[in-house]
Amino acid sequence: MLIAGRVRKSQPFNVGTAGAKIFSGLAAEEFGYTVLQTENHQGKWLLVGTPWRDFSGKKKGDIYKCPVTGSRNSCDKLNLQDSVSIPDVRNIDDKMCLGLTLIRMPTCGPLWGQLCGTQDFYPGICSKMNLLFQPKPAFSPAVQTCGGPMDIVIVLDGSNSIYPWEPMNHFLQKLIPALDIGPQSTQVSVIQYAVEAKFEFKLNEFKTKEQVLSAASRITQMYGSSTNTFHAILYARLQGFSPRYGGRPKATKVMVVVTDGESHDESFRNSVIAECERKGITRFGIAVLGYYSRNNINTDNLIKEIKSIASLPTEKYFFNVSEEAALSTITGALGERIFNIEGTGKGGDNFKMEMSQVGFSAHYSSQQDVMMLGAVGAYSWSGTVVHQTGSRVDILPFSAFEDALQDRNHSSLLGYSVTTLSDGSTLYFVAGAPRSNHSGQVIVYTVNAQKQSIIIDSERGKQIGSYFGSILCSLDVDKDGVTDLLLVGAPMFMSEQKREEGRVYLFSVTKGILNEQGFLNGPLPTENARFGMAISAIPDLDLDGYSDVVVGAPLEDQRRGVIYIYNGEKKTLNKEFSQRIVGSKLDPQLQYFGRSLDSYKDLNDDTIPDISVGAYGKVVQLWSRGVAFVTAKASFTPDKINIFNKPCNINGRKLSCFSTKLCFSADFRPKNPVGPIDVSYALTLDADLQASRVTSRGMFTKNNERFLTEKAKISSAPLCRDYQVYVQETPDFVNSLSLKVEIEQQNADVNPVLDMFSPRASQFFIPFTKDCGSDEVCINSLPCLTRRVLSLYLFSITCTNYVIISSTDTVKCTSTHAPTVTCQVGYPALKKNEEVRFQINFEYSLDQLQNRAEVKFLAKSDSKEERPADNNVDISFPVQYDAGIVLSRQSNINFFVANSTDQIVTTVKTLDDIGPEFNFTVKVSTGNFPVSLLYLTIALPMNTKGGNQLLYITKVETQAGGSVSCDSSSLVDPLKIGVKSHQPSFSEENLKGIDKLDCTSAECKYIKCILKDTEVMSDYFVKVKTRIWSGTFISVNIVSLILVDPAVVQVVLTISKPGEKGDVPVGVIAGSVIVGLLLLALAVGLLWKVSVCLPALGKFIDK
């Protein structure tokens, strides 16, 4: 019989660390940020992205190629940065970050920019490479079509009301630098007017921005008593834009009119403005309100007139400032609005794809020959996805994802990651938006024939700031062409210990619908790891027919980095890692090992995919190894142990024995010749040894031990070895004797490696011969009787057997689980009609209080049962608990001396006139059980039978919190001492005949207290303050008196009266007086049924 155990633990598997090849580059260039496996006719290579600064300090980025084969570990720069550009566009590539995205089809520089007018746009750029890693023509799906040339005529009011003039110059000095001035772009002319209009300079007069600025700085005010604004506008239209003075027929025409007053030629307004509109002149109207404000003139008509000059919509083309000095404050807004015309020719206000950074992520699907490109900056950082098939480009509009994202702040970064899913016929597109709703989101969608997107499903992250969706990896586990899993990285997921642990979620996929299946178990939650910052699918690492996954945790191990490998099984992924590779063990200088990953190709021609790992300034190439599946088989001769047949002579003793043949063989993956594999194996007899068996029943004759360890080289051909085993005298010959075989690889760094999913431990069993007839089936009956002994919580058990198998009457009990006890009764067998009696003691936990306890008794045997119904007995009984209340006391004095010579105070004005203070405190201590209500009564002897006063209560205090309350108001200071005087009276009284003064021989009064909702193992206090009536003890005739109460707690006070005659010598205190603290009643109400002692439960008759 064989039992095999499958063990999963963190140990080296088939990704080797010995012989790893490490390539180094410039960390400042971010060498290792991306890595890609590839090959051409020249060999196999790693392409490494370096998207950051080069020697010049620019961030153009580039790609390096590193040879996988051979001993060289240096890489060659491809120098693509100067070759990746878009023709007929003013390229801005100093921040291109080429190599930031690197997949099997293109490499991308998402921060590639273009200059439109004076504005930098960043639409991103991508380029495919040929087999020699030379770039093909680059493409930028979101490249902007900039507006053409622009002619701008600025019309300035120079009439007398403009004061001072300097702000006009400042206005020009700030506006002109914002314009893209040049012969092929923007030309500027300035016309000044008052009564008449004249050129300050013409469109074609200056060619550079510096020349225009210089000319503008020399303009002086022309002055004039009239403001003929509309004649100036007419002059600008006819002369300013005239080809004679540099006007270009195809240039965009813009007029900027600045004036501080209503015109004197307002009657020409309608015709002049209509003609400007017909000529396509865009007009900005700027009203300077300084003159009107200084002279307290209403500005409504002026504003109305300037608005009529401005193009529509008015709010976009009209400005007003409070005074001339404020003109410079609007140049920024004016320049931006001119730019919207100059840069795009559209005059739009909102950015759409201008800052889109297309190529931030990329994914190619051969199923539809479609390239997905993430555009995180599109639509004001809401993001989108670009689909490119051949030369056709489809940019999904903002409305495509608007409802799914609900992006109120335009910062979802949709397109941060992209991938595809397939159900065999339909292709589903997936895009990650790690900042959506601050917790991240993944959206699944399709695209119909009309290129419209249809949202299929959406999943949101569970933690704010976790960057859920920043990494995506689709996985076809069983390689049937249908996507089984989508892995979603949340690398900034925070653990409960406030560490960036990172998390990778698993989603099963059904027709594009995602169903969460938990997450991968990776780093400890106490480390910053950013687990899931890189995820790569492995076609089949251990050659078991299922795809696998490698996950990077670049911040783990104090930023040195770790990678984890997870193996596929059926249509899912095992959530426990099969291998954990620590970067610092490969190279102590490694940092951020695991920041990028690729595991697509076999790079050393052993048919096993290999893993390439990016780090900070380095790339590590790890080699996968073959896998050996080792099996063990055992056979026994004879096939059963006969304890009556003892053919072996062991150290002079005749013992039973047998021989075992142990055979090993290995199945290697891949099939090409590899091996043998060096293993060590441990043999253990009676590996399931229980407490009932002190020693193993079997011993190897080779070493007289139950353990034996040996080594072997295992190949595909079976390797067999024989071992002799002898059996010691034992009472257990019912259970089979086991042989456990445990296999370990001797050297974990060699090729092949032992399959960690193969059974490392196997058990084989040889039975004992039974004397139960030809069918070897023993039938017995085991009725059980129990008798309960209440006082000790004992149970008396009687078991009887009616079929004999062996003879013993021992009983041995073990407890493997707290509520269960297993006893071997007469083990291994009871004789026929034999009866065994034993007792079991039970204890009950104070942590789990119960009203009743139940005990179940069940008798079992190794043989077949004839009447199994009478093999069990159930007992149920009530359980009661002692409340455990403890009372204690403490007083301020222990004795008091009353002198007969002292004067009795006849008028009591203060408490000191009564006598000394006698204060005592009662402490109530709870036990292990919660008490809901507790009553405490304190009885005090207040007067003698003759009416003499003993104690005067001045105060009763309880602890804060309200748990204790006492009814004592009528007893405390009833005479209002201190408020009014009191004349006490004392009479002679003979107390010599009374040896005990208690509530029987004296008059008592009672303080009643209630304790509510007390907690377990807690203390509660009641403090009573009194005064002793000195006059009583001076007046009465005593020598010795004992005041005794019958309660458990007493407050003791000794009172003596020197000079009083009695039966003892004068000056000797013969006894003591105990002023009693009477605890007459203590009634305890418990949450559970509480009793001081267990009541009789009555007779109990049980089967």
Burial 141-168 (b: 16+ CB within 10 A, else e): bbbbebbebbbbbbbbbbbebbeeeebb
Q: For residue 436, give the 3-state DSSP assignment.
A: helix
Find, among 634, 687, 697, the residue nearest to 660 by Cα.
634
pLDDT digit string, tens, across residues 492-527: 999 999 999 999 999 999 999 999 999 999 999 998
Type of residue numbered 178: A
Name the residue with higher pLDDT: 826 or 141: 141
Residue 643's pLDDT is 83
pLDDT grade, residue 782 (50/70/90)? low
The answer to whether residue 637 scores a pLDDT higher than 70 is yes
Residue 89's pLDDT is 74
Q: For residue 474, give the 3-state DSSP assignment.
A: strand
Consecutive H or E run containing 159: none
Highest mean pLDDT pick, 93-107, 471-485, 682-696, 756-770: 471-485
Looking at the DSSP assignment, which residues form a beta bridge with residue 724?
Answer: 659
pLDDT digit string, tens, across residues 558-612: 999 999 999 999 999 999 999 999 999 999 999 999 999 999 999 988 899 999 9
Question: Which residues lie closer than 8 Å to 644 by C-beta, 6 or more apart?
Answer: none
If DSSP states are collapsed to H, E and C, what string results for 784-804?
EEEEEEHHHCEEEEEEEECCC
The arithmetic mean of pLDDT across residues 314-324, rounded, is: 89
Residue 390's pLDDT is 87
pLDDT digit string, tens, across residues 220-229: 999 999 999 9
The answer to whether residue 1031 scores a pLDDT higher than 70 is yes
Residue 386: exposure state from Cβ atoms within 10 A (0-12, 13-18, ≥19)? buried
Which range (637-646, 687-696, 793-802) has the least confidence? 793-802
For residue 638, whether the previous peptide bond is cis, meaning omega lies within 30 degrees of 0, is yes
Residue 95's pLDDT is 80
Q: For residue 551, give the 3-state DSSP assignment.
A: strand
| Whether the Cβ atoms of residue 620 and residue 593 lie closer than 8 Å to each other | yes
Encoding tokens for residue 639?
């096939």
What's the N-to-C CA distance of the chain in angstroms?
41
Strands (DSSP E) contained in 686-806 are: 698-700, 707-714, 719-727, 737-745, 753-754, 761-766, 779-780, 784-789, 794-801
pLDDT grade, residue 58 (50/70/90)? confident
Residue 514's pLDDT is 97
Find, among 732, 741, 731, 739, the residue nearest to 710 by Cα.
741
> Can you tell me the distance from the alpha carbon of 788 to that of 790, in angstroms, rounded to the nearest whole number?
6
> Can you tell me the distance from the alpha carbon of 323 to that of 287, in angstroms, rounded to the nearest whole number?
9
| Whether the Cβ atoms of residue 754 and residue 747 lie closer than 8 Å to each other | no
The arithmetic mean of pLDDT across residues 836-850, rounded, is: 71
In whole angstroms, how far apart are CA 336 and each of 117, 147, 180, 224, 344? Answer: 11, 14, 12, 33, 12
pLDDT grade, residue 1055 (50/70/90)? low
Residue 951: exposure state from Cβ atoms within 10 A (0-12, 13-18, ≥19)? buried
pLDDT digit string, tens, across residues 944-989: 888 889 899 999 999 877 789 999 889 999 999 988 889 998 888 8
Name the residue with higher pLDDT: 1080 or 120: 120
pLDDT digit string, tens, across residues 1066-1101: 222 222 222 333 332 222 222 222 222 222 222 222
The answer to whether residue 383 scores a pLDDT higher than 70 is yes
Q: What percent of the chain has pLDDT over 90?
A: 47
Looking at the DSSP assignment, which residues form a beta bridge with residue 656?
Answer: 727
> Can you tell me the distance from the alpha carbon of 788 to that of 1100, in angstroms, rounded to the nearest whole number?
8
> Can you tell me the distance from the alpha carbon of 698 to that of 725, in angstroms, rounded to the nearest whole number?
6
Q: For residue 1054, give the 3-state DSSP assignment.
A: strand
Residue 786: exposure state from Cβ atoms within 10 A (0-12, 13-18, ≥19)? middle
In whole angstroms, how far apart are CA 846 and each of 196, 881, 882, 1057? Answer: 107, 9, 11, 53
> Can you tell me the distance from the alpha carbon of 950 to that of 943, in angstroms, rounded to the nearest whole number?
5
| Whether the Cβ atoms of residue 62 and residue 54 lie closer than 8 Å to each other | yes
- Let me know how long the chain is: 1103
Name the residue with higher pLDDT: 303 or 774: 303
Strands (DSSP E) contained in 162-306 are: 186-193, 197-201, 252-259, 281-288
| Whether the Cβ atoms of residue 482 and residue 501 lie closer than 8 Å to each other | no
pLDDT grade, residue 1057 (50/70/90)? low
Type of residue numbered 1010: I
pLDDT grade, residue 771 (50/70/90)? low
The answer to whether residue 646 scores a pLDDT higher than 50 is yes
R_g of the chain computed on alpha carbons = 50
Instruction: Give the phi and the psi of residue 834 in degrees, each rounded to 5.
Output: -80, 145
Name the residue with higher pLDDT: 783 or 419: 419
> Can you tell me the distance from the alpha carbon of 200 to that of 213, in angstroms, rounded to the nearest whole number?
12
> Can you tell me the distance from the alpha carbon of 936 to that of 1022, in angstroms, rounded to the nearest whole number?
10
Helix 331-344 vs helix 166-175: angle between axes, to the nearest 10 degrees? 40
Residue 690's pLDDT is 52
Structure pTM? Answer: 0.62
> Can you tell me the distance from the alpha carbon of 217 to that of 177, in angstroms, rounded to the nearest whole number?
13
Find, among 623, 601, 611, 619, the residue nearest to 38 by Cα.
601
Residue 777's pLDDT is 64
Name the residue with higher pLDDT: 189 or 1035: 189
The answer to whether residue 1050 scores a pLDDT higher than 70 is no
Find, among 612, 141, 164, the residue nearest to 393 by Cα.
141
> Can you tell me the distance from the alpha carbon of 1013 to that of 685, in angstroms, rounded to the nearest whole number?
60
> Can you tell me the distance from the alpha carbon of 149 to that of 241, in angstroms, rounded to the nearest whole number?
13
pLDDT grade, residue 7 (50/70/90)? very low
Q: Which residue has the tokens 């590539």?
A: 93
| Whether the Cβ atoms of residue 125 and residue 111 lie closer than 8 Å to each other | no
Looking at the DSSP assignment, which residues form a beta bridge with residue 762?
Answer: 4, 741
Find, among 121, 117, 118, 120, the residue nearest to 143 by Cα.
121
